[in-house]
Chains A and B, each alone.
Chain A
Amino acid sequence: MEVDRRGFIKIAGLVVAGLAIPPVFNVFSSTEMPKTLDSETLAEAKWAMVVKLENCKDGCTDCIDACHSIHNVPDFGNPKDEIKWIWTDPYEHVFPEQQSEFTEESLKEKPVLVLCNHCDNAPCTRVCPVKATWKREDGIVMMDFHRCIGCRFCMSACPYGSRSFNWRDPREYIKETNPDFPTRTKGVVEKCNFCAERLRDGLIPACVEACKDNSLVFGNLEDPNSEVSKLIAANYTLRRHSGLGTEPKVYYLRQDSTHA
């Protein structure tokens, strides 16, 4: 068969067009819906915590112990390697902008409870090159330990020091492991997760549950009748380094005027 140039181009064009049929057919014949979060699981919440400074007793570590035991937080025994989910720092370090030489003595040295602020505008999530940390719909800044490559950009970005790096395998440094929560491995960053795994089961965070002095309040900022919303609306509250624009969701309350 003699094929001239014109005929050859026609046939070639038809062949190329034919290759496009199966993908187009697949797109239009597909019955499966695209994968989306269904409305039930889409959280309709914005979780926040209020720390009442006046209620928090010096020397009490109930909340810290509860958190660290259920989340398998290791104790390496030295501050350089320390893994921190929830811990205390003196008032003057937590709120350096608030502190002056005339700040009352009792407050200056007061250990203040600090944890990940689960910022609305979280700098850690913006710098993560592999999306191992991201903000959930309900405002929780989550970590995917599977995906973390240990670059520690998030640790540099966090202005609160809320993230810790596992320089060594933490397994041997956990006193008693909780089999329901994974440990971490060497080379992974970790931090407080606002007890996302407990919230899923309808439980409040372990630290809030463990606090006997009603110093910690957890709730939904989207709900104007939640205790956190009411406390924040009725009282003068502080947030750490609020001038940085990270919009922390852990609020500090000096004195609860609503229950005075």
Chain B
Amino acid sequence: MYDAGKIITGIVIFLILMTVPIWYVVATGQASYVPDPKVNPDETQCVESTDYMIKNHMVLLDEWKTSCVRDGICTWVASDGETYNTSLAGTCLSSCHPSKAEFCDQCHSYVGIKPYCWNCHISGE
């Protein structure tokens, strides 16, 4: 191979530059960061199980939105038979998840998504 030294050095420099973001995150300790959404400790009952909500809260909120805005039905019956108002601000944020920054934004910022709910809905912050 001609110029093996230059080429190998170049490849090594290239690999280091490419992986800088990984090293940087590891070095600054951000790699071990885990989102920690905070709920009001006084409230123990969500509309559905935590596992279901983690996976499906966006689907549920979308269904709430559709039934309330389009069909005018602004109540919803949970799987345990309890009836709730289909209101993000009124039902979810009012007491159980009072802080958008400490609850919603924890995971949303972590995974880099920006739901546009808050362009119109008022979080109180």
The one of A41, A144, A179, A185 in contact with B73, judged by C-beta atoms closer than 8 angstroms, is A41
B116 touches A180 (CB 8 A): no
Encode contact with A along B52-90: 1 for CB under 8 Å, 0 otherwise: 000000000000010001111110000000000000011
Contact of A41 with B90 in the complex, beta carbons under 8 Å: no
Q: Closest CB of chain B to A7's CB: distance in Å?
A: 48
| A145 engages B120 (CB within 8 Å) | yes
How many interface residues does B have (CB within 8 Å)?
Answer: 15
Q: For the complex, is B122 an interface residue (Cβ under 8 Å from A)?
A: yes
Residues of B within 8 Å of A130, CB to CB, are: none
Chain B proximity mask over A171-204: 1 for CB below 8 Å, otherwise 0: 0000001011011110000000000100010000
- Which of B70, B72, B122 meets A182, CB within 8 Å? B122
The verdict on A5 contacting chain B, using a C-beta distance below 8 Å, is no
Interface residues on A, range: 10 to 19
Partner of A180, one of B70, B72, B89: B89
Cβ–Cβ < 8 Å partners of A185 in chain B: 116, 119-120
The yes or no answer to A136 lying at the interface (CB within 8 A) is yes
> Contact: B120 with A182, CB < 8 Å?
yes
Nearest to A146 among chain B residues (CB) is: B65
Is A37 engaged at the interface, CB distance under 8 Å to the other chain? yes
CA distance A41 to B124 in the complex (A): 31
Out of A41, A169, A183, name the residue touching B72 (CB < 8 Å): A41
Within 8 A of B (CB), among A104-143: 134, 136, 142
Quick one: given A144-B70, A196-B72, are A180 and B121 in contact (CB under 8 Å)?
no
B65, B72, B116: the one within 8 Å of A136 (CB): B72
> In the complex where A146-B65, A179-B89 touch, is A184 in contact with B71 (Cβ < 8 A)?
no
Q: Is A43 positioned at the interface, with any CB of B under 8 Å from its CB? A: yes
Contacts of A180 in B (CB 8 A): 89-90
Bound-state CA distance A120–B108 (Å) is 43
User: Secondary structure at chain A's binding surface: helix, strand, loop or mixed?
Assistant: loop
For the complex, give the distance between the alpha carbons of A44 and B99 in Å. 40
Bound-complex Cα distance A236 to B70 (A):
36
Which residues of chain B have C-beta atoms less than 8 A from A146's C-beta? 65, 69
Give the residues in chain A near B69, CB-CB below 8 Å: 142, 144, 146
In the bound complex, do residue A183 and residue B120 qualify as a contact, i.e. CB atoms below 8 Å apart?
A: yes
Contacting residues, chain B, for A43 (C-beta < 8 A): 72
- Quick one: which of B87-116 are within 8 Å of A by CB? 89-90, 116
CB distance from A147 to the nearest CB of B (A): 8
Q: Which residue in chain B gives the minimum CB-CB distance to A137?
A: B72
Most buried by A among B69, B70, B72: B72
- Separation of A105 and B69 alpha carbons in the complex (Å): 45
The 0/1 profile, CB within 8 Å of B marked 1, for residues 214-233 of chain A is 00000000000000000000
Task: Report the Cα distance A37→B71, complex, angstroms.
Answer: 7
What B residues does A37 contact at CB under 8 A?
Answer: 71-73
Chain B nearest CB: distance from A156 CB in Å?
Answer: 24
Q: Specify which chain A residues have a CB less than 8 angstroms from the CB of B121 in the assembled complex.
A: 182
Cβ contact within 8 Å between A183 and B122? yes
The residue on A at minimum CB distance from B88 is A182
- Residues of chain A contacted by B65 (CB below 8 angstroms): 146
Q: How far is the CA of A200 from the CA of B74 in the complex (A)?
A: 9
Across the interface, name the chain B residue whose C-beta is closest to A197. Answer: B74
B89 nearest in chain A by CB position? A179
Residues on A facing B (Cβ under 8 Å): 37, 41, 43, 134, 136, 142, 144-146, 169, 177, 179-180, 182-185, 196, 200
B contact set with A: CB distance below 8 Å = 65, 69-74, 89-90, 116, 119-122, 124
